Amino acid sequence: MYTRILAVLLALALGAALVGCAADAPDTSDAPDVSAPGDAAGGAAGLRLANGIYDQEDGTVIALGVLEWVNLEGGFYALTGAPESEGGGNIAVINNAEEFSRELEVLIGKTVQVTGTRFDGVSIRMAGPEIVVDSVEEISDTPGAAE
């Protein structure tokens, strides 16, 4: 009998603690919008968005990740390094790599930001969404000196 009463009291105390923690959650209504990367390499705060693909309001996408050459079925360039919650694998595949071959070759293994549009056609590559690239640039994971 005493163990049941103790269990009920413990459950009530735990429930009250959880409600109290939820009530103390910070108000994020005025937090900055991170849906649009803007300066993905870091701004005044020295932070950048996590690796991933971000749809923009104008229909473009920004993809952040490590550029790799995947030697499969003739080979292709892919952005890798997705967060563990998303499987930790490929983020996107570069669709028009031949147009950017010189830039891409020197960026293999580096963290890059790719800007472009999603590819809507048919592809034989089954490695993630494909991006038709407009620009590609290296970004740094290390923020600059404080100003």
101 has a pLDDT exceeding 50: yes
Q: In degrees to the nearest 10, what's the CA dihedral of 5, 6, 9, 15?
A: -120
Q: What is the pLDDT of residue 71?
A: 83
For residue 32, pLDDT over 50 is answered with no
As a whole number, mean pLDDT of residues 133-143 equals 82
pTM: 0.60
- pLDDT at residue 49, rounded to an integer: 82
CA angle (19, 20, 25) in 5-degree steps = 95
Q: What is the mean pLDDT of residues 37-61?
A: 73
Phi and psi, residue 107, nearest 5°: -100, 0
pLDDT range class, residue 51, cuts 50, 70, 90 = confident
Where are the domains positioned within the chain? 52-138
Give the pLDDT band of residue 35 (cuts 50, 70, 90): very low
Mean pLDDT of 79-100: 78
pLDDT digits (tens, 9 = 90+) for 68-86: 988 877 788 989 886 555 5
* C-alpha–C-alpha distance, residues 89 and 81, integer Å: 6
CATH of domain 52-138: 2.40.50
Q: 123 versus 69: which is more confidently predicted?
A: 69
Sequence-separated contacts (24+) of 66-72 with Cβ below 8 Å: 66/109, 66/110, 66/111, 66/112, 67/104, 67/107, 67/108, 67/109, 67/110, 67/111, 67/112, 67/136, 68/108, 68/109, 69/108, 70/127, 72/127
DSSP 3-state of 142: coil
Q: What is the pLDDT averaged over residues 17-22?
A: 62
Range 76-100 average pLDDT: 79
Residue among 29, 128, 118 nearest 77 (CA): 128
**Cα 22 to Cα 16: distance, rounded to the nearest angstrom:** 10
Residue 3 has pLDDT above 90, yes or no: no
With cut-offs at 50, 70 and 90, classify the pLDDT of residue 147.
very low
For residue 112, what are the β-bridge partners? Answer: 65, 138
